[in-house]
Amino acid sequence: MKYNGAEITIKLLEMHGIDTIAGIPGGANLPLYDALYKSNISHVLARHEQGAAFIAQGIARSTGRPAVCFATSGPGATNLITAIADAKLDSVPIIAITGQVPYSLIGTDAFQEVDTYGLTLPIAKHNFLVHSINDLFSIIPEAFNIAQDGRPGPVVIDIPKNIQTEVLEFEEWPQLEKKASARSFLDVSQIQPIVKMIHNAKKPILYVGGGMIHSNASRALYKFAEKNNIPVAVTLMGLGCFPTDHALYLGLVGMHGARYTNLLMHESDLVLAFGVRFDDRATGNVSKFCPNAKILHIEVDEAEINKLKSSHHSIQGDIGSILEDLTPYIENMPRLEWIQEIEKYKIEYPFVLPNEDDVFHPINIIKYVSRNVPEDSIIVTDVGQHQMWTAQVYPFKYPRNLLTSGGLGTMGFGLPSAIGAALANPNRQTICFSGDGSILMNIQELATLADLHLNIKVIILNNGHLGLVRQQQQLFYEEHYIASKFIRNPDFATIAKGFGIPSCNIAEEGGLDTLAEILSEKGPYLINIPIRQTENVLPMVPPGAANTEMIGGEHHAK
Amino acid sequence: MQNNDYYVIELVVRNHPGVMSHVTGLFARRAFNLEGILCGRIGDGTTSRIYLLVKNDDFMDQIIKQLRKLYDVLEVSLHDDYDYTIFNNLDTLLKPKNNG
């Protein structure tokens, strides 16, 4: 049989189970689009390649399976860069396939030519520049393996146009190799020292993160934590891996963690660092992080072990399977003394919530939404104060319920990622919490949302500012407010209607009942809610300070 | 010959144009110091060997781990016993054959 490079590429993607591709066509990838025309894979036309790549991220983050995005050469490829870097830092398996000028023109500053391979080297897990059509048969399957193996990450495949159009005659399609399971196996000699550490500890704490989610380890974590009564503190990327209403749940740790959580971590004598990388947002000043504790670090990426903090004991492996192997050896321990101390801290250093009558306080709005949407709704946030409030108070029950840009903190992440999540999960409600700053960064994707008519409610917590910047200027730059207040505020409700999305403003009392109504209906909707401009996310650990040196969020005894 | 200040990291890598970029890019973006680099093909040309001259400091462990993570790097080994005169006399590569 005879196929051209583009057809081979599309067929290989089909063979890997891809059913949706987000992208934008251009000169250098038209042959790929022509092959896509004849395929069963459905295509989502975004309005900016960054949007396309975030749509792919939304699919990948919400399902755990790799997702594909397309862009043309030159500006198409450069527009992907932010989203690829975002995927790298949060370990998201996306595969970006870019068109490139014909091989003979590479290096000549041809029309819409950039060194896509070179540009994406530092921000991808791996990159391929396809040199010959035969390479496609090895590159595409390898790309899927690399994207999903161990610590997931983005892979970039740059395909010159001449290879897309070149025709190859061959006998049969390659057999896809069954990948060996990612399971780690611990033998008894490895298990014993760990079990000993845990049994001997008086004040153990679990410090868990994104790795738990990538490893699908929530069930295993639950059994492990409950059996030995070990409280669980999570990072931003770990939210959802442990039920937020459980007695052992300590919530978010780090820069905006609850006072009691950061103080308890400081008291701990054994930190079980599972699927985490000791990122500065979670640890604060890392040399002052958990100074009294032994650290047991279990992590699939070997390079993260002892990168920022020396561990007393470490295992490189898949946390989900390791927890399964470990739990049978762990004793049932009630740990009454430690649990009581934890309860005392929760009472003495509680997380201060706003008055419930303050209906339009962003925290109360977020909680109101949580009470009016199904438990399995997907919550997507943009970046900023609204993101931190959502992380602090939203009652996540399941992993992959929260999609948020943690490592790169990319404003503009929200809307397109919500589109991807809704595409991959059509029977669920998707909520996108955004800010007036973030929403404008990928606002053009409202057009994509209108095209697809997805079940997404975009809720803009509007304070007319770059909120987190304003907060930092207030707290650390002597209130030198510059470039943090928007001079004029667009009318987002009108803009949404212009894109063909129903919308409204909710500002007056009783307005929240309208919100409940909107949330109960299917379909896209944009809701703009003005909030007080001077709210701060508290407590806050100043950048560079120890987690115990939190500002604000203190409980004043009545 | 031993030189305790510097180590040589020997890499066996897949031989294609991008590999050098991956390796040197790693040093650049992690702010590791790369003092010297030599590279050449092995055997049938599908693989190459790269020799990196690196200062022996606290980051050595991280450097080795990050190099191992690179998909195109097949083997990594560390040497503290090597002929350091090679790196100090690289200009002899271009010395003219005849004098005058």
pLDDT of residue A37: 98
- Gap from B15 CA to chain A (nearest CA, Å): 13
Tokens of A132: 């010959």
Question: Is the CB of residue A471 less than 8 Å from the CB of residue A542?
Answer: no
pLDDT of residue A146: 97
Residues of chain B contacting A306 with CB distance shorter than 8 Å: 61
Residues of chain A contacting B24 with CB distance shorter than 8 Å: none
Report pLDDT digits (tens) over A79-130.
Answer: 999 999 999 999 999 999 999 999 999 999 999 999 999 999 999 999 999 9
The sign one gets for the Cα dihedral A150, A301, A135, A154 is: positive
Instruction: Name the strand (E) or helix (H) holding A227.
Output: helix A218-228
Report pLDDT digits (tens) over A215-225.
Answer: 999 999 999 99
- Compute the average pLDDT of residues A536-551: 96
Query: Percentage of chain A with pLDDT > 70?
Result: 99
User: Residues of chain B whose pLDDT is less than 70?
Assistant: 1-4, 97-100
- Across the interface, of A122, A127, A146, the residue whose CB is closest to B18 is A127
Tokens of B97: 């054959």
Answer yes or no: is pLDDT of A271 > 80: yes
More confident residue, A14 or A183: A14
Contact B65 A303 (CB under 8 A): yes
pLDDT of residue B100: 45
pLDDT of residue A382: 98
Distance of alpha carbon A96 from alpha carbon A426, whole angstroms: 23
pLDDT of residue A201: 97
Interface of A with B (CB under 8 A): 117-118, 121-122, 125-127, 129, 131, 146, 301-303, 306-307
Distance of alpha carbon A417 from alpha carbon A57, whole angstroms: 6
pLDDT of residue B18: 86
Residues of chain A contacting B25 with CB distance shorter than 8 Å: 121-122
pLDDT of residue B98: 56
Q: Which residues contact A485 (CB under 8 A, 6 or more apart)?
A: A464, A465, A466, A470
Distance of alpha carbon A444 from alpha carbon A465, whole angstroms: 20
Residues of chain A contacting B16 with CB distance shorter than 8 Å: 131
Quote the distance between the C-alpha of residue A350 and its chain's center: 27
More confident residue, B59 or A312: A312
Query: Percentage of chain A with pLDDT > 90?
Result: 95
- Across the interface, of A117, A129, A303, the residue whose CB is closest to B69 is A303
Quick one: DSSP state of residue A417?
A: H
Distance of alpha carbon A229 from alpha carbon A249, whole angstroms: 11
pLDDT of residue B59: 86
Mutation to test the A interface, candidates B21, B66, B72, most A Cβ within 10 Å = B21
The total number of residues shown for chain B amounts to 100
Look over chain A and give the mean of its residue pLDDT values, rounded to a whole number: 96
Single out the residue of A223, A267, A262 nearest to residue A246, CA to CA. A223
Distance of alpha carbon A208 from alpha carbon A213, whole angstroms: 10
- Gap from A163 CA to chain B (nearest CA, Å): 18
B71, closest residue in chain A (CA to CA): A126
Report pLDDT digits (tens) over A318-342.
Answer: 999 999 999 999 999 999 999 999 9
Question: Is the CB of residue A30 less than 8 Å from the CB of residue A14?
Answer: no
Quick one: DSSP state of residue A287?
A: G
Question: Is the CB of residue A110 less than 8 Å from the CB of residue A101?
Answer: yes
The total number of residues shown for chain A amounts to 558
Distance of alpha carbon B8 from alpha carbon A282, whole angstroms: 36
pLDDT of residue B99: 52
Residues of chain B contacting A307 with CB distance shorter than 8 Å: 62
- Gap from B63 CA to chain A (nearest CA, Å): 9
CB pairs under 8 A between A and B: 28
Contact B21 A303 (CB under 8 A): no
Within 10 A of A180 (CB to CB), how many other CB atoms are there? Answer: 7
Contact A307 B68 (CB under 8 A): no
- Across the interface, of A122, A126, A301, the residue whose CB is closest to B25 is A122
Report pLDDT digits (tens) over A38-59.
Answer: 999 999 999 999 999 999 999 9
Report pLDDT digits (tens) over A201-250.
Answer: 999 999 999 999 999 999 999 999 999 999 999 999 999 999 999 999 99
- Model confidence at A26, pLDDT cuts 50, 70, 90, reads very high
Tokens 């399964």 appear where? A324
What is the ipTM metric for this complex? 0.88
- Gap from A278 CA to chain B (nearest CA, Å): 15
Instruction: Name the strand (E) or helix (H) holding B36.
Output: strand B34-42
Task: Give alpha helix (H) positions in A64-135.
Answer: 75-78, 81-89, 116-120
Tokens of A458: 């975009």
Q: What is the pTM of this model?
A: 0.96
Q: What is the identity of the amino acid at A152?
A: P
More confident residue, A257 or A509: A257
Q: Which residues contact A54 (CB under 8 A, 6 or more apart)?
A: A83, A86, A412, A413, A416, A417, A419, A420, A442
Answer yes or no: is pLDDT of A455 > 50: yes
Mutation to test the B interface, candidates A95, A117, A121, most B Cβ within 10 Å = A121
Answer yes or no: is pLDDT of A509 > 80: no
Report pLDDT digits (tens) over A425-434.
Answer: 999 999 999 9
pLDDT of residue B43: 86
Distance of alpha carbon A223 from alpha carbon A226, whole angstroms: 5
pLDDT of residue B1: 47
Answer yes or no: is pLDDT of A172 > 90: yes
